Amino acid sequence: MRKPFLAVLTATFLLTAVPLLAQTPCPGFAVVVNTPEDQLTLAINGADKPEDQITALDKFVKENPDSKFIPCVNEYYTMAYVKTGNFDKAIEYGEKDLAAGYQDLSLSVNLLKAYVGAGKAPDSAFDMIMKAPELIKKETTPARPNTASEPDWQKMKQDAAEMAKDVTAYVTYAFFQLLAGVTDSAKRLTLLGQLEKAYPDAGTQDAAQINFQYFMAYEMAGQGQKAEPYGEKCLAADANNIQVLNLFAYDYASRQTELDKASDYATKVLTLLPTIKKPEGQTDDQFKAQQSNQFGMAHLTLGYIAFQKGAKTHKVAPAIQELKTAVDLLDANPTLKAQALFYLGYAYEVLSPPNHHEALDALSKAVAIQSPWQAQAEDLLAKVKKAK
């Protein structure tokens, strides 16, 4: 059962969005009074809606196409389009600045918001995240004004420290959201190492997320033994973590080790899933698909365990029932569905007497799905046809 294709099992590790204090756009640009740039910033700050800001930006670009202020214009476009929810346009303008070598903290945060909103995880997003600590330090380290009283100066430093903490929290939040879109396990591991180096406090402050992501990355790589310590840490912090329980159960069953423990974990998943409430921000369809995948995976694990335990005595009726249930639940996960169909067909052949008709039906469906189980299903299907 063990296959290094657990990328198909990954589900987003849902986190709570982090509110952000205001960042100063374009800190490197000085605006002269009564210039077109001054008029633009006044129009943007005075606009009631982001659409009005976009209109002002369009007007400025049309009238001042060669302005040295264009990088700041792109940043304002990015901010405005994020507010409208047009993440693709926000990314388009934000990436123009990145391509030109311009980056500040406000641009980084808003462009990360756009990547998260669009569900896109390009290398540029992770590059920004790794460079953010330097920008955070640069832009949140205030210089004391000559006229500032001691209480005012202490308040300035406190506000700057809160901003640094707030921005760091969002940037690391964005990292874990975007990491869910990285399907290459080796790349995931590299990025996690880079995060821990760039954010030395992450190992403590974000220990739960880091342990979970290391667990997922090693599972995706088919390295269950390396994944196990991280999964145990996750369960020590949250004994009801459904994703970890389900993956642990699947992994133990795949390696044919600790089958009883795998069965207990999968059974616990089936008990916990009906109690889970839909996370904020998820649509009903997304939540239903996620739940079906988790239910289907647990039934697949239980079906495989029952098959292993009953194959020698031909007592595989419990396995057949579990695998049939898994097949019905895994429409959104072709690899797991094909696996369930393969073992369902196998189980029908193990019955005494064999049920060739049902075996042929299940195996034919498995063969029709492009997956790592296709070749094995074809081989078994050919044998069943000869035996029929």
Sequential pLDDT tens for the chain (388 residues): 544 344 334 433 333 333 344 457 888 787 888 899 989 999 998 999 999 999 999 999 999 999 999 999 999 999 999 999 999 999 999 999 999 999 999 999 999 999 999 999 999 999 999 999 999 999 888 889 899 899 999 999 999 899 999 999 999 999 999 998 898 999 999 999 999 999 998 888 888 889 999 998 998 888 888 988 999 999 998 999 999 999 999 989 988 888 999 999 999 999 999 999 988 777 888 899 999 999 999 999 999 999 999 999 999 999 999 999 999 999 999 999 999 999 999 999 999 999 999 999 999 999 999 999 999 999 999 999 988 7
- Matching fold, domains 36-141+150-183 and 257-387: yes
Element (H, E) at 168: helix 150-179
**What local confidence, expressed as pLDDT, does residue 219 receive?**
86
Superfamily of 36-141+150-183 according to CATH = Tetratricopeptide repeat domain (1.25.40.10)
Q: Return phi, psi of residue 304, to 5°.
A: -65, -40
- Where are the domains positioned within the chain? 36-141+150-183, 257-387
DSSP 115-138: HHHHT---HHHHHHHHHHHHHHHH
How far apart are the C-alpha atoms of 23 and 30, rounded to whole Å? Answer: 16
Using CA atoms, how far residue 375 sits from 242, 253, 307, 380, in Å, is: 31, 21, 20, 9
In order of 29, 106, 287, the CA distances from 24 in angstroms are 11, 6, 37
| Distance of alpha carbon 346 from alpha carbon 368, whole angstroms | 16
| pLDDT (0 to 100) of residue 254 | 87
Closest Cα to residue 303, out of 343, 338, 268? 343
- C-alpha triplet 134, 136, 140: angle, nearest 5°: 130
pTM: 0.75
The Cα–Cα gap between 385 and 264 comes to 37
93 three-state secondary structure: helix
Length of the chain: 388
User: What is the predicted pLDDT for the residue at 269?
Assistant: 97
Q: What pLDDT, on a 0 to 100 scale, did the predictor assign at position 205? A: 85
The residues, any chain, with a CB within 8 Å of residue 138's CB and separated by 6 or more, are: 105
CATH superfamily of 257-387: Tetratricopeptide repeat domain (1.25.40.10)
Phi and psi at 91, nearest 5°, equal -65, -40
Please tell me the distance from the alpha carbon of residue 291 to that of residue 289, in angstroms, as a whole number: 5
Chain-centre distance for alpha carbon 230: 18
C-alpha 30/C-alpha 38 separation (Å) is 10
Please give the span between the terminal C-alpha atoms of the chain, in angstroms, as a whole number.
26
Write out the two tokens for 251: 């992994």
The whole-angstrom separation of Cα 73 and Cα 248 is: 49
Residues 6+ apart with CB under 8 A from 288: none
Burial 250-261 (b: 16+ CB within 10 A, else e): bbbbbeeeebee
